[in-house]
């Protein structure tokens, strides 16, 4: 995993407020964005985003 890319993707997800919005900004597919965030969370050993039906928000660690 490219950590710089993963951090960039994470920043775009927070900025856009959604995985699909970040995917559009990054010209990537939404599944790729989701996978990168999941891998980053595993790598860091913590949850970075709280996901709900109303959107998402960064955790304290995020």
Tell me the pLDDT band of 53, cut-offs 50, 70 and 90: confident
Question: What percent of the chain shows pLDDT beyond 70?
Answer: 97
The alpha carbon of 4 is separated from its chain's Cα centroid by a whole number of angstroms, namely 13
Which residues have a Cβ under 8 Å from the Cβ of 5 and sit 6 or more positions away?
36
Domains of the chain, CATH where assigned: 3-58 (1.10.10.10)
Please write the tens of the pLDDT for every residue from 29-45: 999 999 999 999 999 99
- For the whole model, what pTM was predicted? 0.87
| pLDDT, the chain, mean | 90
Task: Count the neighbouring beta carbons within 10 Å of the beta carbon of residue 1.
Answer: 11
């Amino acid at each position: 995993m490219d950590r710089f890319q993963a951090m960039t993707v994470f920043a775009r997800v927070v900025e856009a407020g959604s995985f699909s919005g970040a995917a559009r900004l990054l010209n990537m597919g939404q599944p790729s964005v989701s996978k990168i965030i999941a891998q980053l969370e595993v790598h860091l050993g913590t949850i970075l985003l709280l996901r709900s039906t109303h959107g998402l928000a960064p955790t304290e660690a995020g």
